[in-house]
Amino acid sequence: MKMLLLASAGGAIGAGARHLVNLGMGRLLGTAFPWGTLTVNILGSFLMGVLVELLVLRFGGSPTMRTLLGTGFLGGFTTFSAFSLDVLVLLERRETGLALVYVAGSVLVGFAALYAGVVLVRMVLS
C-alpha cells in the first residue's frame, strides 16, 4: 500500500508539472504546434536518464525513491520517459531489431488504436 501511495503522490505532482509546462509553452510559443507535449517528452526522457544513472546505478536508490520519482513523478509527467528508457535498454543489450519493433509498434499501433477509439465513438454517437 505504501508503494501505491508513493506512486500516486509522485504522479499527482508530475501531472501538475506537465500541466504547468503545457501552459507555459503555449504562452511562450503558441498552441499551433504541441510544444508542451514535445517539451515534457524530451525533458522527461532527460530526467529519466539522470534518475536511472544517478539514483539507481550510482547511489543504489531504494525502491521507495524509484517508485516516487520514476513511476510516480515521471510517470505523471510523461510516460515517454519510460518508453525512451525501454528503447535504451534494448539497444544496450544489442537487440536493435527488437528496439525498432518496439518503437514502430508503440508509435504506429498506438496511433492506430487512438484512431480506432475515435472512429468507434463517432460511429456510436452519430
pLDDT tens for residues 93-103? 999 999 999 99
- Higher-scoring residue by pLDDT: 53, 64: 64
CA 84 to chain centre: 8
The Cβ of residue 58 has, within 10 Å, a number of other Cβ atoms equal to 9
CA–CA separation, 78 vs 11, rounded Å? 10
CA–CA separation, 64 vs 74, rounded Å? 14
pTM passes above 0.75: yes
